[in-house]
Homo-oligomer: A and B are copies of this chain.
């Protein structure tokens, strides 16, 4: 079923990588084979295999949770929570983080070679022939990786934002494989406003003439302008109004007075432009389309007659929900919905709303309260 782990230098340089040949049956009805998964691990699996923690990343995240990013050279995206002496600790836990299906850091996605085109020349990228995937598909691909790694059961699955969607889905799809799930700054379904913001991003990408129906890989002319605009729009939703005012207010960028022109007079404009420009260097526009689509399709209650409680009936995990008071992308009310449904289903759940001025992105920043909650929850015995 599986091929051995091998190192490879994929497009962005991945470290651990496996090609799983067993087909992955997708929610769409399509089937994907092979399934490539790029991942990082930290620490070692203990003798009884009871210390595995799967970290699930967000929309534009990747497997480099605590490793230097090969493209940007920046530290891993969650080094504030993952590391020796931190709540998720490689000296105690076996930590796995895999690039999600549909992404562009080594796992199967639209930039991967479509096996149907493999010939003498080596084959062509899927582009928009890649099947539309769901959050549940991402989870099933992760389960295939765990099979490959010989991990039957997770001590914990944890993630923020889209990572939280995966963490929440895990116990509903694999009730026997998860002991505990930590869901941070997330939701049980994408709201109309969430979908609307994603649709703006997709339209920005598709409006870029370089997108050309997604078939831009051959000549290296990616739809960078469209992707940058998509990122800028999304980035605003990751920050709070309060945080933006505190950080930038109406301060001017390296000038004493307004220029009465269209340069980035304001610091916030300059910051946002930088966010857009630097993002396109590390992310694939088609992956952005596929992953936002997976998030928009996400609605855990949908397959259970619209009842979220029904979705949790079969679960056996302990749950921990964490929200941030200034997060307007997935506000606390969304976490409360989940908590109420878990209560209704008789599941064990902890919930805390934390204060932060930083909005949705708070979970990626210095958040000592969050670390304490995660640590306490992971160390607690089942009640």
Which chain A residues have a beta carbon within 8 Å of chain B's beta carbons? 27-30, 128, 131-132, 189-193, 195-197, 199-200, 202-204, 206-209, 225-226, 228-229, 232-233, 236, 239, 241, 244-245, 247-250, 258, 260-262, 264-266, 268-269, 272-273, 276, 289, 293, 296-297, 299, 328
Copies in the complex: 2
Q: Which residues of B contact A128 (CB under 8 A)?
A: 262
Contacts known (A196-B269, A250-B190); A28 close to B204, Cβ less than 8 A: no
What separation, in Å, do the CA atoms of A47 and B196 have in the docked complex?
Answer: 52
Do A191 and B232 touch across chains, with their CB atoms under 8 A apart?
no
Name A's interface SS. Answer: helix
Q: Which 6 A-B pairs have the closest CB atoms?
A: A207-B225, A28-B260, A192-B244, A132-B260, A192-B268, A192-B248
* Least CB distance, A326 to chain B, in whole angstroms: 12
* Least CB distance, A253 to chain B, in whole angstroms: 11
Do B269 and A199 touch across chains, with their CB atoms under 8 A apart?
yes
Most buried by B among A131, A203, A209: A203
Q: Which residues of B contact A226 (CB under 8 A)?
A: 207
Q: Which residues of B contact A225 (CB under 8 A)?
A: 207
Do A266 and B195 touch across chains, with their CB atoms under 8 A apart?
yes
What separation, in Å, do the CA atoms of A131 and B265 have in the docked complex?
Answer: 16
Do B200 and A268 touch across chains, with their CB atoms under 8 A apart?
no
Do B200 and A272 touch across chains, with their CB atoms under 8 A apart?
yes
Do B228 and A207 touch across chains, with their CB atoms under 8 A apart?
yes
